[in-house]
Structure formats: structure tokens, C-alpha cells
């Protein structure tokens, strides 16, 4: 009897480790993402075990970003400076002096988020009468709504246009620069912003830079930021977005994909293959991720111990940055590094040859 009990117990415990758990993405998941985006997530999961961070700004992810920004990034009485706003301030004269013929510009903010980082810059440029219009572009419709609320409150007289775009997959559509009345393309020079160290989050940075290049005219500037230098190496300390933003995304991704909290853990580390700091969801049990809506029927098997990347950040060293710009047909014309030597602001033009 005792022996039987023992063997039954062993059988059931063996079975429990062998039983594959199934995760079914929630209905919220299918309401947030288009079919193309669901297929993009499936592809990234199959090919490189990743749920690209860009998708985590959609739906409730927009509020997660805005809350993180307001709590940890926005200047307040106890945190008086913001690296990116300071870098933009330092570069104001350079950009203003180099706007062609002292004319007006269109500001094209790609990955605009809540638009907060460009507020002071636009305020100064607008006082000089040089802002033609502000175009907010983002993968997240919800963040564009936030951007619109903020921007139109700050600058009720500046024309605001917005559109969703995935800059990893496409250029900025020319129709956004069409004059409403004449339907002609407005050839006002443009300053493209890509702020918030977002360039370091993309899986395919070169593709993004090429898409910028193909969206630009010869009088346009691309201004972007990234972390650099002393911040490039992983010291094991989680801080900033890698701590607070990631914690929130992790909770949200788990629930929308349908993986139980007790079945996974959050791991942050340096990943040599992508030369990036990554945040991964490590599975303690084998899982089948079952995507079965929108005419999609796809099962992805993830084994116990495997990790799914939900956040990544590549930091630039200058030689690598120059190489990526050159490969993308862009030319570095100016850059600044902040006083802590942690962040870089890069200004480029379309390469001349």
C-alpha cells in the first residue's frame, strides 16, 4: 500500500513537470494590436524569442510610459534637470542658426511620447516665429492622443498634426507634408526628432536610420539621443527605465500574454549577441503560447528555462555610431555629450554623395 502510494505520487509529480502550460493572449491583447502587429509579435517570438518593446507602448502601455515619465523623468522642484531637455537647450543655437535662410521649420517628432521633451525647444523657436507646424508620429495611438492634449494646451496657435507610424517598417509618409489647400508638398525644412534614447531600443537600428534618411530632404536635420560612454557597460545596477519602466511592462506583458506570475521571473543582463542591456521574462515551466484569433492559428513552444526579451537597450560608442550613420546614408554634423558623459545628442543630415 505504502509502496503504491509512493509510486503514484512520483508519477503525478513527474507528470506535473512534464505538463505543458498553455498561455492564451487576452481579448485586450487582440483589441490593441492589428493583425499585422500580432504577426510581428509571433515572428519576433519565433525567430528571436522577443516581444519587441515598441508594442508595449500601445493600449495601457501608453499610460505606463506617461506615468513613468511624470514620476521619474519630468523636471520638478526636487529633480530640477533632465538630460535630454538640457541637451536640446545646449543645441538650440546650433539648430536655429542652421535653419536654411532663417526660414520657418516643421518639427517632426518621431516616437513623440507625451511630447514633453520638445516643449521648451518649441517655445523658444516659436517666440522667434520659426515654427510652421508640429507633426507628432508614434506607433501608439494612445500616446498620440496624449501628445495632442499636451501640445494643443501649450501651443494653441501652432498647427498640430499626428499619425501612427512604425519607423522600423516605413518612412515618414510624404502626404503628411501636403498643404491642405493646394495639395502641393510643403517643402519647408524639417527637424526630425527621435528622442528618449529610443534609437537604442530598436531591433534594427540601421533600418530605422535608413527610413529617416529616406524621409529627409537636403535641408533637413535628424536629432536623436542615446546613452554612451560610461553608461555603455553593464554594472549590474538596474536604474531609470531599465528598473521602473521595465517592472511595469513586465507585469503588463505577462497578463496580456497569459503567463502566470509564479511561472516566470524578470532577468536583466548584458546580452553579447545584441550588444545590449536586456530585460527578459525567464520561464520556469514549458509553455505553449497559443495565438488563435483574427484568422491566426499559431502555437509557439517555449521550453522551461528559456527567456523572452521584453526590453532592450543598445548604447553607442562613437566609432560604432559613425559606422551605423555612414551605412544608412547619413552624415554626422554635430554632437554634444552631457557633463556626466552618459548621454549623447546627435545631429545629422543626409550624406552628400
* Site residues, ligand SAM (CB under 6 A): 54, 57, 69, 84, 111-113, 117, 138-140, 143, 165-168, 195-196, 198
Please tell me the distance from the alpha carbon of residue 329 to that of residue 322, in angstroms, as a whole number: 11
Q: In the chain, what is the straight-line distance between the N-terminal and C-terminal CA atoms, in Å?
A: 85
Residue 219 beta carbon to ligand SAM: minimum distance, rounded to whole angstroms = 23
Nearer to ligand SAM, 220 or 227 (CB): 227
Could you tell me if 240 and 230 are in contact, meaning their C-beta atoms sit under 8 angstroms apart? no
Cβ-based burial of 186 (10 A; exposed 0-12, middle 13-18, buried ≥19): middle
Please tell me the distance from the alpha carbon of residue 25 to that of residue 255, in angstroms, as a whole number: 8
Nearer to ligand SAM, 151 or 287 (CB): 151
Residue 340's CB is within 10 A of a number of other CB atoms, namely 10
Nearer to ligand SAM, 35 or 301 (CB): 35
Using DSSP bridges, classify how beta strands 287-291 and 343-350 pair: parallel, antiparallel or unpaired: unpaired
Residue 317 beta carbon to ligand SAM: minimum distance, rounded to whole angstroms = 21
Please tell me the distance from the alpha carbon of residue 304 to that of residue 20, in angstroms, as a whole number: 9
Residue 205 beta carbon to ligand SAM: minimum distance, rounded to whole angstroms = 11
Residue 116 beta carbon to ligand SAM: minimum distance, rounded to whole angstroms = 6
Please tell me the distance from the alpha carbon of residue 203 to that of residue 220, in angstroms, as a whole number: 25
Could you tell me if 263 and 287 are in contact, meaning their C-beta atoms sit under 8 angstroms apart? yes
Residue 209 beta carbon to ligand SAM: minimum distance, rounded to whole angstroms = 12
Q: Of 126, 184, 189, whose CA–CA distance to 159 is shortest?
A: 126
Rg of the Cα atoms in the chain: 23
Residue 52 beta carbon to ligand SAM: minimum distance, rounded to whole angstroms = 8
Nearer to ligand SAM, 23 or 113 (CB): 113
Nearer to ligand SAM, 112 or 302 (CB): 112
Nearer to ligand SAM, 167 or 350 (CB): 167
Residue 148 beta carbon to ligand SAM: minimum distance, rounded to whole angstroms = 13
Nearer to ligand SAM, 25 or 111 (CB): 111
Could you tell me if 225 and 87 are in contact, meaning their C-beta atoms sit under 8 angstroms apart? yes
Amino acid at each position: 500500500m505504502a509502496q503504491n502510494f509512493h509510486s503514484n505520487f512520483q508519477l503525478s509529480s513527474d507528470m506535473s513537470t512534464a505538463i505543458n502550460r498553455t498561455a492564451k493572449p487576452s481579448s485586450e491583447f487582440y483589441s490593441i494590436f492589428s493583425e499585422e502587429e500580432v504577426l510581428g509579435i509571433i515572428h519576433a517570438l519565433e525567430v528571436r524569442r522577443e516581444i519587441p518593446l515598441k508594442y508595449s507602448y500601445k493600449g495601457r502601455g501608453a499610460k505606463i510610459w506617461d506615468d513613468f515619465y511624470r514620476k521619474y523623468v519630468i523636471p520638478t522642484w526636487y529633480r530640477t534637470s533632465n538630460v535630454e531637455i538640457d541637451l536640446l537647450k545646449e543645441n538650440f543655437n546650433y539648430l536655429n542658426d542652421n535653419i536654411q535662410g532663417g526660414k520657418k521649420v516643421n518639427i517632426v517628432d518621431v516616437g513623440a511620447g507625451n511630447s514633453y521633451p520638445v516643449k521648451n525647444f518649441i517655445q523658444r523657436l516659436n517666440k522667434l516665429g520659426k515654427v510652421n507646424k508640429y507633426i507628432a508620429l508614434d506607433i501608439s495611438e494612445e500616446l498620440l492622443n496624449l501628445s495632442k492634449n499636451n501640445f494643443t494646451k501649450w501651443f494653441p496657435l501652432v498647427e498640430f498634426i499626428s499619425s501612427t507610424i512604425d519607423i522600423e517598417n516605413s518612412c515618414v509618409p510624404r502626404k503628411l507634408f501636403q498643404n491642405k489647400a493646394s495639395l502641393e508638398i510643403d517643402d519647408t525644412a524639417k527637424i526630425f526628432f527621435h528622442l528618449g534614447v529610443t534609437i537604442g531600443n530598436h531591433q534594427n537600428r540601421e533600418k530605422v536610420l535608413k527610413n529617416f534618411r529616406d524621409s529627409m530632404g537636403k535641408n533637413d536635420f535628424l536629432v536623436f539621443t542615446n546613452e554612451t560612454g560610461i553608461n555603455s557597460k553593464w554594472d549590474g545596477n538596474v536604474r531609470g527605465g531599465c528598473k521602473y519602466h521595465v517592472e511595469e511592462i513586465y507585469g503588463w506583458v505577462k497578463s496580456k500574454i497569459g503567463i502566470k506570475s509564479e511561472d516566470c521571473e524578470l532577468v536583466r543582463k548584458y546580452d553579447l549577441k545584441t550588444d545590449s542591456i536586456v530585460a527578459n521574462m525567464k520561464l520556469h515551466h514549458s509553455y505553449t503560447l497559443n495565438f488563435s484569433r483574427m484568422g491566426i492559428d499559431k502555437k509557439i513552444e517555449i521550453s522551461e528555462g528559456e527567456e523572452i526579451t521584453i526590453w532592450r537597450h543598445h548604447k553607442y560608442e562613437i566609432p560604432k555610431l559613425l559606422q551605423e550613420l555612414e551605412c544608412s546614408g547619413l552624415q554626422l554634423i554635430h554632437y554634444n555629450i552631457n557633463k556626466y558623459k552618459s548621454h549623447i545628442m546627435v545631429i545629422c543630415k543626409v550624406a552628400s554623395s
